[in-house]
Amino acid sequence: KIRSSAPSQRGKRPLLLDIPHDIVELSHSENCIQESKRRTTKNVKDIQIPERKAVPLSDNGICTMQKIVSEHEERVRKLLSKPFQIPIPGYKLSGRVLGLRLPGPRRPLHDPNEANALIVYSPPELSEHDRLKVDLCKQLVHVVVDPILCNVLRPHQREGVKFMYECVTGKRIDNAYGCIMADEMGLGKTLQCITLLWTLLKQGKVFKKIEGMIEFRRKYETPILRGQDAAATDAERKLAQERLSDLVSIVNKCLIRRTSALLSKYLPLKYELVVCIKMGELQTRLYKNFIQSDSIKRSMEENDNPKKTGSLSALAAITLLKKLCNHPDLIYDKIMEKADGFEKAALLLPPKYSTKELMPELSGKLMVLDCLLASIKTTTNDKIVLVSNYTQTLDLFEKLCHKRSYNYVRLDGSMTIKKRAKVVDNFNSSNSNDFIFMLSSKAGGCGLNLIGANRLVMFDPDWNPANDDQAMARVWRDGQKKPCFVYRFLSTGTIEEKIFQRQAHKKALSSTVVDQEDDVARHFTINDLRDLFKLEENTVSDTHAKFKCKRCINGIEVKGPSEQSDCNSDLSDWRHSHNSRHLPDIPLRQCWASGISFVFHHRSHEQVK
């Protein structure tokens, strides 16, 4: 390499002694390595900068530079730092110790003597002698919920937080660290769980894993379910009752159950109406043609193989029937393809049948919905939520809105979370002109708060009653100011009523453990499955007929339900309407002639006068 002829000089003193040490050391190291290749030096403490003449600084210059650096650092720190107000009243110490555990005796994180304090754990009282021996750094102290959370909890929510804390810390059952919160919707389970988690995070212990399901199924689930079967022997029923009693005694220690009746203190009246609607003439012909087809008969054979080419599984057949109950348009493609079960269905369609233009008259439920929307629009200023399990049904709702010039919004699985929140907020606004909120139960059945509406139509049922209950709870929630009306549409005598009946059976099964009520639930059998494909034509309600109701004689409800009953009671304890006379909802009365055959209805609580 060719070296520069420029001379290098050593400064008489180090430059900028107060610059950061890592920079000085790095510069010094690099220079020494380069210099060692050229010559050996004895004064290794001198800083040597090759190829540049160093400008020595006087003592005054160094002091001036240090002052400039210090002033600059202070100026930048002030710009970057933001004022912080210490939230603790009367706090005198430095902000540097905030969040640090201070030395000394253990003490509660929050004051247990403060007004409205929620204490979830209190240490045992100690005698004077025990207090002398206790280690102050390990002594037990009160666990107090953060006042910021505590002050917004309602009485039943405070009870729930305390209950859950006692369960998960093993205070209720030895060596058991879990609980079940079986509250109904709208009681603030989310807020209670957040409060519990925050309290445990700041003041909790280490937990233990719970056991698996194998032992539970062997000891409880299997015997109880066998005993509830209609064909169970006396011995199986006796064993089931014993195991159920054992399970209830255990569960009651770690399960808290409150019904939505508690909300009656804070919310307006809610009316639930189960509306049975006769299918349209075309629907009935297509329905009978499908269930009488060879494909359905083959799918019900005991040795049928669903994977076999040309066969139709029972589940696929159920889905097609549910769609047919909504509107023939939803199965039009299957009819044109002559799919299994629809080989001859095209002959039943009217001439020039088309799905481009919606015809509500071809569906009993859609015809009633069309009339109901018109009545609500013209006689009230209410908003309404329309819920379905199928996005294809939401497409029909959109066509109906265009046909009647209704303003609407739609929420399904294709909408982003960010846009979803904006749409919901806008709909709930009093300035919004939207009349209808269309909702896919799969995409928005949980968590949405649609208090801008006070009416909701559940257009088709789901096998899981919890899914329907979640969807129907969107309007009767905290913040609602108007009386609410929740309608459940069922096609009379069809598979929809069968599904609804099984929902009631599942709820009854749950109530045997949770509410300790008499068991009425039964298992599915082959005969049950076959019964799903039977159309009950000569009935106003297949569900009411199976009750063998003693309060109704010759189509007249001669005796009302008990005064203690409400919409959480068994359906047999609801009001049964064979005509529109006693319906609590005026718009629904006006729609009776559109095809309604029967209505179950009840209120959430007794109205305070």
* Backbone phi, psi, residue 439, to 5°: -135, 130
CB atoms under 10 Å from CB of 320, counted, come to 21
CATH, residue 273? 3.40.50.300
For residue 345, pLDDT over 60 is answered with yes
Do 114 and 196 belong together in one domain?
A: yes
Q: Specify the range with the lowest mean pLDDT, choosing from 63-77, 323-337, 481-495.
A: 63-77
Give the domain-ending residue among 203, 221, 240: 203
Report how far residue 229's alpha carbon sits from residue 251's, in angstroms, rounded to the nearest whole number.
23
Q: Specify the range with the lowest mean pLDDT, choosing from 130-139, 178-187, 457-466, 538-547.
A: 130-139
Tokens coding 261: 């009746």
For residue 589, pLDDT over 70 is answered with yes
Q: Are 368 and 489 in contact (CB under 8 A)?
A: yes
Q: Are 339 and 305 in contact (CB under 8 A)?
A: no
Q: How many CA atoms lie within 13 A of 581 on its CB side?
A: 7
> Closest Cα partner for 406 from 377, 446, 428, 429?
377
22-37 pLDDT per residue, tens: 444 444 444 544 544 4
Instruction: Provide, rounded to the nearest whole percent, the portion of the chain with pLDDT above 70.
Output: 74
Report how far residue 56's alpha carbon sits from residue 38's, in angstroms, rounded to the nearest whole number.
24
Q: Is 404 left (phi over 0), alpha (psi -120 to 50) or beta?
A: alpha
For residue 539, pLDDT over 90 is answered with yes
Average pLDDT over residues 96-111: 70
Higher pLDDT, 602 or 184: 602
Residue 369: per-residue pLDDT: 96
Give the domain-ending residue among 321, 348, 375: 348
Helix (H) or strand (E) holding 455: strand 455-458
Report how far residue 292's alpha carbon sits from residue 361's, in angstroms, rounded to the nearest whole number.
24
53-90 pLDDT per residue, tens: 544 555 666 666 566 657 766 766 666 665 666 767 77
State the pLDDT confidence band at 509, using cuts at 50, 70 and 90. Answer: low
Residue 79, domain member (yes or no):
no
Residue 495: per-residue pLDDT: 94
Q: Are 554 and 581 in contact (CB under 8 A)?
A: no
Do 531 and 557 belong together in one domain?
A: yes
State the pLDDT confidence band at 218, using cuts at 50, 70 and 90. Answer: confident
CB atoms under 10 Å from CB of 283, counted, come to 22
Do 504 and 598 belong together in one domain?
A: yes
Tokens coding 546: 């199976």
Residue 27, domain member (yes or no):
no
274-325 pLDDT per residue, tens: 999 999 999 999 999 999 988 887 777 744 554 454 456 788 889 999 999 9
Tokens coding 50: 């090759």
Residue 48: per-residue pLDDT: 47
Q: Residues 501-522, buried b or exposed e (16+ Cβ, 10 A)?
A: bbbbbebbbebbbbeeeebebb
Residue 44: per-residue pLDDT: 41
Residue 240: per-residue pLDDT: 83
Residue 485, domain member (yes or no):
yes
**Ranges assigned E (strand) in 389-426:** 408-411
CATH, residue 313? 1.20.120.850
State the pLDDT confidence band at 502, using cuts at 50, 70 and 90. Answer: confident
Look at residue 415 and give its three-state secondary structure: coil
Average pLDDT over residues 262-269: 80
Residue 524, domain member (yes or no):
yes
For residue 3, pLDDT over 50 is answered with no
Do 193 and 319 belong together in one domain?
A: no
Stated length of the chain: 609
State the pLDDT confidence band at 205, using cuts at 50, 70 and 90. Answer: low
Report how far residue 377's alpha carbon sits from residue 137's, in angstroms, rounded to the nearest whole number.
68
356-372 pLDDT per residue, tens: 889 999 999 999 999 99
Report how far residue 267's alpha carbon sits from residue 484's, in angstroms, rounded to the nearest whole number.
10
Q: Residues 248-280, buried b or exposed e (16+ Cβ, 10 A)?
A: eeebeebbbbbebebbbeebbbbbbbbbbbbbb
Residue 9, domain member (yes or no):
no
Q: How many CA atoms lie within 13 A of 322 on its CB side?
A: 22
Place of tokens 């929809």: 496
Do 329 and 224 belong together in one domain?
A: no
Q: Are 467 and 445 in contact (CB under 8 A)?
A: yes
Q: Are 474 and 448 in contact (CB under 8 A)?
A: yes
Do 271 and 334 belong together in one domain?
A: no
DSSP output for 149-212: HHTT--HHHHHHHHHHHHHHTTSSSTT----EE-PPTTS-HHHHHHHHHHHHHHH-----PPP-
Residue 2: per-residue pLDDT: 46
Residue 96, domain member (yes or no):
no
How far is residue 40 from each of residues 43, 44, 70, 548, measured CA to CA in Å? 9, 10, 38, 112
Residue 287: per-residue pLDDT: 95
For residue 262, pLDDT over 50 is answered with yes
- What's the structural domain count of the chain? 4
The one-letter code for the residue type at 42 is K
Q: Are 486 and 415 in contact (CB under 8 A)?
A: no
Do 316 and 416 belong together in one domain?
A: no
Higher pLDDT, 482 or 138: 482
Do 235 and 197 belong together in one domain?
A: no
Tokens coding 151: 């002050």
Do 221 and 315 belong together in one domain?
A: no
Q: Specify the range with the lowest mean pLDDT, choosing from 6-10, 295-299, 499-503, 536-540.
A: 6-10
Tokens coding 244: 């159920």
Do 289 and 424 belong together in one domain?
A: no
For residue 7, pLDDT over 80 is answered with no
Tell me what the pLDDT averaged over the chain comes to: 79
Tally: H helices and E strands in the chain: 22, 14
Do 245 and 161 belong together in one domain?
A: no
Give the domain-ending residue among 297, 317, 348: 348
Residue 194: per-residue pLDDT: 92
For residue 189, pLDDT over 70 is answered with yes
Residue 464, domain member (yes or no):
yes
118-171 pLDDT per residue, tens: 998 888 887 777 777 777 777 788 899 988 888 889 999 999 999 999 888 888
Helix (H) or strand (E) holding 349: none
Which domain, by its residues, includes 306?
Answer: 281-348
For residue 111, pLDDT over 60 is answered with yes
For residue 526, pLDDT over 60 is answered with no
Tokens coding 12: 């008489």
Do 338 and 426 belong together in one domain?
A: no
Q: Specify the range with the lowest mean pLDDT, choosing from 254-263, 313-322, 333-342, 345-354.
A: 254-263
Residue 233: per-residue pLDDT: 83
The one-letter code for the residue type at 512 is T
CB atoms under 10 Å from CB of 393, counted, come to 24
> Closest Cα partner for 588 from 385, 440, 369, 310?
369
Residue 449, domain member (yes or no):
yes
Residue 17: per-residue pLDDT: 41
What's the gap between Cα 570 and its chain centre? Answer: 25
